[in-house]
Amino acid sequence: MNFERLTEYKYRIPREGKMEVDAAFYASEKILEDLEAEDYASLRQLRNVATLPGIIEPALTMPDIHWGYGFPIGGVAAFDSQRGGVVSPGGIGFDINCGVRLLTSGIDREVLERHKSRLADELFRAVPSGVGKGRKDFRLDRGNLEETLVEGPAPLVERGYGDPEDLGRIESGGRLAGADPGAVSDRAYERGGSQLGTLGSGNHFLEVQYVDEVYDEEAARAFGLQEDFVTVLIHSGSRGLGHQVCQDYLERFLEAAPRYGIDLVDRQLAAVPIESPEGEAYLRAMSAAANFAFTNRQLITHFTREAFASAGFEHRLGVLYDLAHNNAKFEEHAGRRVLVHRKGATRAFGPGEEELPEEYRSVGQPVLVPGDMGRYSFVLAGTEGAMRETFGSSAHGAGRKMSRKKAKKAAKGRDVIRELKDRGILVRAAGRATVDEEMSEAYKDAADVIEATHGAGIGRRVARLRPMIVVKG
């Protein structure tokens, strides 16, 4: 693999072969060792991304780079429709608008500690997780579901499933424009319709945490974060609806790509011109699925608020921020309107950006980076460096270092839930298999990702959060 070091944390892969542009990746020495250990499989995927038509230099990966489908996880690529730029569902992922939302509480950690077990039970009861349908007391008919796909969470908030202030704290106000419910298949409605307001399983979770350390007082104050105060992190996406949208359009694009003269080096990179009937239809469907996911996290927030109230807490949980880490959005960068694909990467707009809530504009957008359930997660702030170098993007998580098979083997004879309880972390899970697969040791250390992100200037450390309760599907 041919690459050169540009700075302590930034590397360049020069354009060669079928690449249209250079690629760049961010890594510490430790992350670089991991990349070498996998024979640079992820970087080969990054090089493949750089072959797509109309791509704006550079093709990028964030420090949490790991192997994905077509695009590597941590991949960021911007395309100019005026130069024949393409849209690729693989650059967004099957879980469209998989993302995270962080809630703040004003509750002191010691107070929560006294009611932790009861809260854990209430959360597990209130927030559906694992396979299966959502709560029986919440159902939308097709008409209301289609409205959600167009408008995002706003109609449900109007009906009492949230506070009006919540909407201003969601990326893009929780609504991507241009969504078309007609571009979403009946199978997608069938799969996702009953899953609205559910966590899912795998690496999705709801976590009650406390602020363990503050690194940037000014940003923490702007975000409403204070040491020892309790937060809640929600990680979920567009569920079966989004998965089906991606499946539907991936196949359509595979069939269409040759007609546009697009030579795919990897089928999972299936792509068509942004300004094509297929491309425009996908973007309308993708926006619909993204709005569904924002609504999903809004409903989970509502159920979480119910659980806190049932557990005896009077504090109202506020939304710090909600952001996507699988998405494609039209944005303006360096005076040009481009379609930015983020696959396991987070938007990280810097200080002064108009799109940010006024209260965050001086410090930059909150960037939420979950770690594993045994260690910590992080809050960062978007930076001018990110705006300059990465199309306003940053890292999104830690990434696995152990396969599910190996994790289950390592968990044999152990009681992972008990081990976490002994460390003060209560787990409520729909099944033991997921907990074993998601054990801490299966994941890389999120602190390594944060070191590289902060060091590279594409995200500024604000606070570290530690888990108290974990709900998993």
Partner 1 sequence: MIEMLDHTADVGFELGASTLEELFGEARRALLMVVFEHPPEEGEEEAKIRLSAPDRETLLVRWLNELNYLIQDTGFVPARAEIGIRESSGAGYALQARLAGAPLLLEEYGWQGEIKSATFHGLKIVDSDDRLHARVILDV
User: Given the rule CB under 8 A, which residues bind partner 1?
Assistant: 38, 66-70, 73, 94-95, 130-131, 187, 190-191, 200-202, 240, 243, 246-247, 250-251, 254-255, 266-268, 270, 399-406, 431, 433-434, 437, 473
The H or E element that residue 121 is part of is helix 116-126
Which of these, 286, 338, 262, 308, lies nearest to 55 by C-alpha position? 338
Identify whether the C-beta of residue 49 lies closer than 8 Å to the C-beta of residue 43.
Answer: no
Residue 237 Cβ vs partner 1, minimum distance, rounded to whole Å = 9
Catalytic, out of 204, 235, 325, 396:
396
- Residue 311 or 398 with smaller CB distance to partner 1: 398
- Residue 396 annotated among the catalytic residues of the structure: yes
> b/e string for 395-410 if b means 16 or more Cβ within 10 A?
bbbbbbbbeeeebbee
At its nearest, how many Å lie between partner 1 and the CB of residue 431?
6
**For the chain, what is the radius of gyration of the CA atoms?**
21
d(CA 412, CA 44): 35
**Shortest distance (Å) from residue 402 CB to partner 1:** 7
CB distance 363 to 434 below 8 Å: no
Q: Which of 206, 220, 372, 380 is nearest to 301 (CA)?
A: 206
Continuous H helices in 224-335: 239-256, 277-310
Minimum distance of partner 1 from residue 195's CB (angstroms): 9
Comparing CB distances to partner 1, the nearer of 341 and 461 is 341
Beta bridge partners of 60: 24, 76
C-beta of 315 vs 404, nearer to partner 1? 404
67 vs 215, which CB is nearer to partner 1? 67
Do residues 200 and 236 lie in contact, with contact meaning Cβ atoms separated by under 8 Å?
A: yes
- Cα distance between residue 358 and residue 214, in whole Å: 22
For residue 437, the minimal CB distance to partner 1 (Å) is 7
Compute the distance between CA of residue 60 and CA of residue 23 in angstroms, rounded to an integer.
6
Spatial separation of the C-alpha atoms in residues 115 and 128, rounded to whole Å: 21
Closer to partner 1 by CB, 49 or 380: give it: 49
CB of 38 to partner 1, least distance (A): 8
d(CA 156, CA 144): 9
SS3 category, 367: strand
* Residue 315, C-beta contacts closer than 8 angstroms, at least 6 positions apart: 105, 106, 107, 308
Considering beta carbons, is residue 163 or 266 the nearer one to partner 1? 266
Q: What is the closest distance, in whole angstroms, from the C-beta atom of residue 300 to partner 1 in the complex? A: 16
Please identify, using beta-carbon distances, which residue of 94 and 229 lies nearer to partner 1.
94
Would you name the residues annotated as active-site residues?
396
